[in-house]
Chains A and B, each alone.
Chain A
């Protein structure tokens, strides 16, 4: 059964550095999402992407964040200048119409020092 994959599983970075988190959604899916979960808190929506553009974003998704689908298979989340409070588990998800079900990747744990 196809699954969403994410790399790396754990990323450690220094504050102020750029990070790119990578996701390979399920191949025939059309909607792509990033969520994050700070330790001990709820899963929060960051951004959704459809038809090669952002369709929704939360207030968390500020100018420091960007998403890209560079080659038709990968879906990336870039944080330009990481802050300590960006430390979290980042989940990628994908889905396709007509249903609303989203399939999640295993997550990337980002630690900002």
Chain B
């Protein structure tokens, strides 16, 4: 069975502070990991995928297979980063996504 855990429901930081949203997973094969973001009243949008190893809007995430983690990080949070963030896992192409419970990030001025 595949599972994704996001231990924090809410993370509140001040603008300019570093951010780390935690994600742990369990999966027996080689997973593909994603971070999706949902801004207020908008749809789920893909933020990052581990295979592309890119930085989007200053966010990065590294897959750590030893710790089965895919934490999302940003060195300096901005107010516009306030949103709901979901970590998700998939197996092969076309497979379902398994989502974590989500973390609400609030960036205070």
Chain A: residues with CB nearer than 8 A to chain B? Answer: 3-4, 30-31, 33, 35, 41-45, 48, 50, 55-56, 58, 91, 93, 95, 97-107
Report whether A45 and B44 are in contact in the complex, using a CB–CB cutoff of 8 Å.
Answer: no
Report whether B101 and A42 are in contact in the complex, using a CB–CB cutoff of 8 Å.
Answer: yes
Binding site of B, secondary structure by majority: helix, strand, loop or mixed? loop
Report whether B34 and A42 are in contact in the complex, using a CB–CB cutoff of 8 Å.
Answer: no
In the complex, residue of chain A having the shortest beta-carbon distance to the beta carbon of B101:
A42
Report whether B95 and A48 are in contact in the complex, using a CB–CB cutoff of 8 Å.
Answer: yes
Known contacts A31-B94, A48-B96; is A101 also within 8 Å of B44 by CB?
Answer: no
Residue with the highest number of chain A CB atoms closer than 10 Å, among B42, B49, B97, B99: B97
Count: A-B pairs, CB below 8 Å: 63
Q: Given the complex, which residues of B lie within 8 Å of A50, measured CB to CB?
A: 94
Those of B92-108 within 8 Å (CB) of chain A: 92-102
In the complex, residue of chain B having the shortest beta-carbon distance to the beta carbon of A107:
B43
Report whether B96 and A104 are in contact in the complex, using a CB–CB cutoff of 8 Å.
Answer: no
B32 CB-CB contact with A under 8 Å: yes
Q: Given the complex, which residues of B lie within 8 Å of A97, measured CB to CB?
A: 93-94
Q: Given the complex, which residues of B lie within 8 Å of A58, measured CB to CB?
A: 96
CB within 8 A of B97: which of A3, A45, A98, A105? A45
Report whether A48 and B43 are in contact in the complex, using a CB–CB cutoff of 8 Å.
Answer: no
B68 CB-CB contact with A under 8 Å: no
Distance in angstroms from A103 CB to nearest chain B CB is 8
In the complex, residue of chain A having the shortest beta-carbon distance to the beta carbon of B41:
A106
Report whether A95 and B94 are in contact in the complex, using a CB–CB cutoff of 8 Å.
Answer: yes
B86 CB-CB contact with A under 8 Å: yes
B26 CB-CB contact with A under 8 Å: no
Report whether A100 and B32 are in contact in the complex, using a CB–CB cutoff of 8 Å.
Answer: yes
Distance in angstroms from A102 CB to nearest chain B CB is 6
Q: Given the complex, which residues of B lie within 8 Å of A102, measured CB to CB?
A: 46, 97
CB within 8 A of A43: which of B42, B45, B86, B92? B86
C-alpha gap A30/B86 in the complex (Å) = 24
Report whether A91 and B93 are in contact in the complex, using a CB–CB cutoff of 8 Å.
Answer: no
